[in-house]
Structure 1
Amino acid sequence: MKNILGREIPEFVEGYGKVKPFGGAFNNLGEVTKKEVRVKSAVPGETKVLSTIREAIEKCNLKDGATISFHHHLRNGDYVLNMVLEEVAKMGLKDIKVAASSIFPVHAPMVELMKSGVITGVYANYMSGPVAEAISKGLLKNPAVMHTHGGRARAIESGDLHIDVAFIAAPTADTYGNINGVEGKAACGTLGYAIPDAMYADRVVAVTDNLVPYPACPIDIQQEYVDYVVAVESIGDPKGIVSGTTRITKDPVGLKIAKMTSQVIEASGLLKDGFSFQTGAGGTSLAVAAYVKELMKKKGIQGSFAAGGVTGYIVEMFEEGLFRSIFDVQCFDLKAIESYKNNKAHQGMSASMYGNPHNRGAVVNNLDVMILGATEIDVDFNVNVTTGSNGVIMGGSGGHSDTAAGAKLAIIVTQLVKGRLPIVVDKCTTVTTPGESIDVIVTERGIAVNPRRTDLIEKLKTTNLPVMTIEELKKIAEDMTGKPEKIQLDDEIVAIVEYRDGTVIDVVKKVK
């Protein structure tokens, strides 16, 4: 069958089940039911502190076929996922499903466990490195399931993704299971992606390298959700968690794109008191923030909030009074961690509060402007940030689809040609975010506005910006590079790409 985007989707996928085809960004909303949660009561005097990961696995009664989860706030510095899986393998457990909010190169040991049958399933919002490459080659028994950040929270809360045991890397934990992310040698800031796991998993284990006396202060995840606490030597390498200061690009092409993007935002009419904003951590995205900052100062505008994964540059704008508050699901650098620790208006949020479409209102619904990236964009404005030009998985939605759906103005910023390949194509290799959620594409060669946005097209006519159709942008790119050859892929499905509402927007096929 085909979904509403015309993508060919099987009705049933072995190892995944019956497929619900994507029917539109807001087609699958309404009344929903959240899952029941199994809780084992703690009695007075009972200790939660255990000696080893193995003891925790035994206490949680982990069996073959179970699903275990991890969060990714430690990013490429994470030790906990590998540490737990090593013990799982030693204990002879098989057919384990790993639900990690994201997977990074540091998690390469998973590949051998996939080959040996210890791991047979993976759920992730984003993946890069050896694990992503191995899955693309068909080395995982069952198709991986790729969520959005909000979609993962939705899946956990609805019971679509049932977690038997959540292992939460805790920069600080006390002896009764209260956790925070702002103290300790592996401090990473807010723990927004771990919160749904803590609330809905059958068993929850806090793994910490900074065990403190009860009670911890502050508390991000409360004791009522945590069954056991295990102290280890190290939960992660801080160098992989943060990279110091994330920097604005100095590339002239990136700066040109950023300046034009700020002019589009200004022309949209959204840049006024109460303005809300989210941008990524890339150099061009931060340059957009720098130009927006200049405009806000010039016009005397104070925004309501900045949101998302937060960088030091957004913190600077907040500290200068350009935003009244920050909603933070993940800190990207040391300055953001420090701000979250010290400023009460720099607030943490769970992944569900951030982007879950099946709750009483996500933060993304209140975004005015979102700046996004792209690997490919097709002539219908569909965007790929899941697979590379060779068909190999190299990313995933993360918050891409969530924020694009919620924001009043979702802007893609990208160079028109990357690696001698055009970014604008007839048909994306993989669709991550539907074109109906994308409003504008800004490249160094020109700007394309989604034909749905007739209001924005009229506003941009009053500017000197190089506005053109997406077909014209595509032609400019192909005149520079030639038309790329179509990627040859196998028929085997190696990953299912779920939209935020749990419907299937696309599938990823095995690379030849």
Structure 2
Amino acid sequence: MKNAVGREIPEHIAGCKYNPYRGPWACIPSRQANGGKSVDAPAAEKVLKSIDAAIEAVGLRDGMTISFHHHLRNGDYVMKLVVDAIARKGIRGLRLTASSLSAVQDAIMPHLEAGVITAIDTSGIRGEIGKFVSAGKLPHPVMIRTHGGRARAIESGELSIDVAFIGAPACDIQGNINGVDGPAACGSLGYAMVDAAYADKVVAITDHLMPHPLQRISIPQTQVDFIVKVDSIGDPKGISTGSLRISTDPKELLISQYAATVIEHSGCFRDNFSLQLGSGGASLTAAKFIKEKMKTKGITAAFGVGGITGIFAEMMEEGLVNLLFDAQSFDSTAIQSLRQNDRHLEVSASYYASPGTCGPIVNNVDAVILSATEVDIHFNVNVLTGSNGRLMGAPGGHPDTAAGSNLCIVALPLVRRNFPVMRESVHTIVTPGETVDVIVTDRGVAINPLRQDLIHNLQGSGLPIMLIEDLQRLAYEITGTPTPAPTGGDIVGLVEYRDGTIIDVIRKIG
């Protein structure tokens, strides 16, 4: 037979399986052959006039799954712009998957109430949306995933994304994207990378459209179907809000000192150790005490990892940290460092924490300091709900780094606003106690009995080491025994552990 260019091609060739050439766009690669994405003939023009036009171009319809990233945190405008446009078109019953939902996303509440969005899959949920879900008003249970677990679910096909809307601080006319240029620079696009790679269709929303090619590329044009320019994708001042702060509170300063001392005497504090710091005030503040101890002992860290703050960037500039692996940049100093320093490396959520890979970087972390909403006598940690069960937080990378690191420290005050955060049982288990090694509070330090090596190493450290049961009793002596929250309501959410199993459920509260 003759193919489309007139060449004679035998109908059968021994040992070969093939199709004759039929034209440059006649055969579209299958989803399986292209990492989960369907492929169309390339658009003559990727840049569209409006979000409405992009929604039409990708064929969005009722019941599909749309995704967003949260690198602009409380400064994000993209989700509201897109969901407003979707609502205007009368599309309903969508599943929203986001790497996290910040308080700024309360702006889409009318669309949850109207049924534009009827299901949510996320690594964090707060504010009015958290209240809405906790009250049982969302038609389907929310799925809460870790950062690593979300990447695993997307890569495995368990979480299939029809259209990813990528807030692009800088984007060229062919769709190359980075997060370090433009008026809304947010730094690393680590969480958006997985969405862009695996979503069926990808739309870049940008306020900084550049000529081709962009000099620095985080997400390549090969993954982007369409581009829309808008007036603004967000306010970068909103990136450093919420839990990101260096504490001046005497109680948190004491907790930070204790946490740094745990690392110093743990056995892992040596030249070329590795470190991750969580976003809580105590864990971030601990960095300054760790810096002092590193300088005193003359040691450097091989790398820092996670959500990167200016503290880490400054430590690298001072020669105390050799490399930074950045899945999310938490402030302007970190963003500038990522732009300028070639030892500050941008990584995807998968590289950072996915247990479905051959080895995420969290598996190589020596010590991590994390925060918590509450902890119990079995070392279980809750970072998702309040003690009343209302959704108000985020697993983020908490369970991922706890499981992967050699030393997991959870730092928190014994009592917060006259409520005990050390409990007999946490309301929601997010990070299982067997992956948590040390609990640090302002009134004492508890070591997991599973870590007899740490119990031995921390003898003589000067720390006020106590049994965790004694810490819990002390908390109750200060505040009184708390009234347990109701636990019998309908299930409104599932808490997934990083491996895809369900570790707990969220129940409806009034």
Q: Which residue of 2 aligns with 1:40?
A: 39
Between stretches 496-505 and 275-284, larger displacement belongs to: 275-284
Q: Which residue of 2 aligns with 1:228?
A: 226
Distance between the aligned counterparts of 2:260 and 2:227, measured in 1? Answer: 47
Q: Say yes or no: does 1:504 pair with 2:502.
A: yes
Distance between the aligned counterparts of 2:161 and 2:112, measured in 1? Answer: 19
- DSSP-derived class of the 2:508 partner: strand
- The amino acid across from 1:460 in the alignment is L
Q: Which residue of 2 aligns with 1:445?
A: 443
Q: How much does 1:248 deviate?
A: 2.6
- The amino acid across from 1:37 in the alignment is G
- DSSP-derived class of the 1:502 partner: coil
The structure 1 residue matched to 2:80, chosen from 77, 82, 104, is 82
Equivalences for residues 409-488 of structure 1 within 5 A: 409-488=407-486
Q: Which residue of 2 aligns with 1:260?
A: 258
**Is the contact made by 1:156 and 1:200 (CA closer than 8 Å) also made in structure 2?**
yes
**Is the contact made by 2:280 and 2:370 (CA closer than 8 Å) also made in structure 1?**
no
- DSSP-derived class of the 1:134 partner: helix
- DSSP-derived class of the 1:377 partner: strand
- DSSP-derived class of the 1:347 partner: strand
Q: How much does 1:244 deviate?
A: 12
Distance between the aligned counterparts of 1:398 and 1:421, measured in 2? Answer: 24
Distance between the aligned counterparts of 1:148 and 1:124, measured in 2? Answer: 8
Q: Say yes or no: does 1:290 pair with 2:288.
A: yes
Q: Deviations over 1:435-465 (max 9, x none)?
A: 0110000111111000100111111123221
The structure 1 residue matched to 2:347, chosen from 338, 341, 349, is 349
**Is the contact made by 1:51 and 1:230 (CA closer than 8 Å) also made in structure 2?**
yes
Distance between the aligned counterparts of 1:133 and 1:422, measured in 2? Answer: 22
What is the number of residues matched between the two proteins? 479
Q: How much does 1:36 deviate?
A: 4.6
Q: How much does 1:153 deviate?
A: 0.4
- The amino acid across from 1:177 in the alignment is G
Distance between the aligned counterparts of 1:288 and 1:109, measured in 2? Answer: 35
- The amino acid across from 2:47 in the alignment is V
- DSSP-derived class of the 1:491 partner: coil
Q: How much does 1:331 deviate?
A: 0.7
Distance between the aligned counterparts of 2:34 and 2:497, measured in 1? Answer: 20
Equivalences for residues 198-347 of structure 1 within 5 A: 198-242=196-240, 247-347=245-345
Distance between the aligned counterparts of 2:242 and 2:214, measured in 1? Answer: 26
Question: Residues 34 and 421 from structure 1, CA distance in 2 versus in 1: closer, same or farther, beyond 3 angstroms?
Answer: farther
Distance between the aligned counterparts of 1:383 and 1:306, measured in 2? Answer: 23
Question: Residues 242 and 251 from structure 1, CA distance in 2 versus in 1: closer, same or farther, beyond 3 angstroms?
Answer: closer
Structure with the greater alpha carbon radius of gyration: 2
Distance between the aligned counterparts of 2:505 and 2:34, measured in 1? Answer: 27
Q: Which blocks of at least 5 consecutive residues in structure 1 are unaligned?
A: 1-32
Q: Which residue of 1 aligns with 2:396?
A: 398
Question: Residues 151 and 206 from structure 1, CA distance in 2 versus in 1: closer, same or farther, beyond 3 angstroms?
Answer: same
The structure 2 residue matched to 1:369, chosen from 349, 367, 370, is 367
- DSSP-derived class of the 2:305 partner: strand
Distance between the aligned counterparts of 1:347 and 1:214, measured in 2? Answer: 23
Scaled by the length of structure 1, the TM-score of the pair is 0.91
Scaled by the length of structure 2, the TM-score of the pair is 0.92
Q: How much does 1:280 deviate?
A: 2.1
The structure 2 residue matched to 1:379, chosen from 373, 377, 380, is 377
- The amino acid across from 1:214 in the alignment is H
- The amino acid across from 2:146 in the alignment is T
The structure 2 residue matched to 1:112, chosen from 99, 104, 110, is 110
The structure whose RCO (Cα within 8 Å, separation 6+) is larger is 1
Distance between the aligned counterparts of 1:55 and 1:35, measured in 2? Answer: 26
Distance between the aligned counterparts of 2:345 and 2:407, measured in 1? Answer: 23
Q: Deviations over 1:8-40 (max 9, x none)?
A: xxxxxxxxxxxxxxxxxxxxxxxxx99951332
- The amino acid across from 1:288 in the alignment is A
**Identical aligned pairs, as a percentage?**
50
- The amino acid across from 2:83 in the alignment is L
- DSSP-derived class of the 1:112 partner: helix
Q: Which blocks of at least 5 consecutive residues in structure 2 are unaligned?
A: 1-31
The structure 1 residue matched to 2:91, chosen from 76, 90, 93, is 93
Q: How much does 1:181 deviate?
A: 0.5
Q: How much does 1:389 deviate?
A: 2.1
Q: Which residue of 2 aligns with 1:166?
A: 164
Question: Residues 34 and 223 from structure 1, CA distance in 2 versus in 1: closer, same or farther, beyond 3 angstroms?
Answer: closer
Superposition misfits of 4+ residues, deviation over 6 angstroms = none
Q: How much does 1:312 deviate?
A: 0.6
Q: How much does 1:286 deviate?
A: 2.1
Between stretches 185-194 and 98-107, larger displacement belongs to: 98-107
Q: Which residue of 2 aligns with 1:25?
A: none
Q: How much does 1:251 deviate?
A: 1.4
- DSSP-derived class of the 1:193 partner: helix
Distance between the aligned counterparts of 1:76 and 1:42, measured in 2? Answer: 37
Q: How much does 1:163 deviate?
A: 0.2
Question: Residues 244 and 70 from structure 1, CA distance in 2 versus in 1: closer, same or farther, beyond 3 angstroms?
Answer: closer
**Is the contact made by 1:396 and 1:432 (CA closer than 8 Å) also made in structure 2?**
no
Q: Which residue of 1 aligns with 2:120?
A: 122
Q: How much does 1:489 deviate?
A: 4.0
- The amino acid across from 2:497 in the alignment is Y
Q: Which residue of 2 aligns with 1:389?
A: 387
Q: Which residue of 2 aligns with 1:59?
A: 57
Question: Residues 352 and 245 from structure 1, CA distance in 2 versus in 1: closer, same or farther, beyond 3 angstroms?
Answer: closer
Distance between the aligned counterparts of 1:74 and 1:150, measured in 2? Answer: 19
Q: How much does 1:242 deviate?
A: 3.5
Q: How much does 1:104 deviate?
A: 1.4
**Is the contact made by 2:411 and 2:441 (CA closer than 8 Å) also made in structure 1?**
yes
Q: Deviations over 1:452-479 (max 9, x none)?
A: 0011111112322111111010111111
Q: How much does 1:391 deviate?
A: 1.2
Q: Deviations over 1:247-275 (max 9, x none)?
A: 53121111111111111111111111111
Q: How much does 1:41 deviate?
A: 3.9
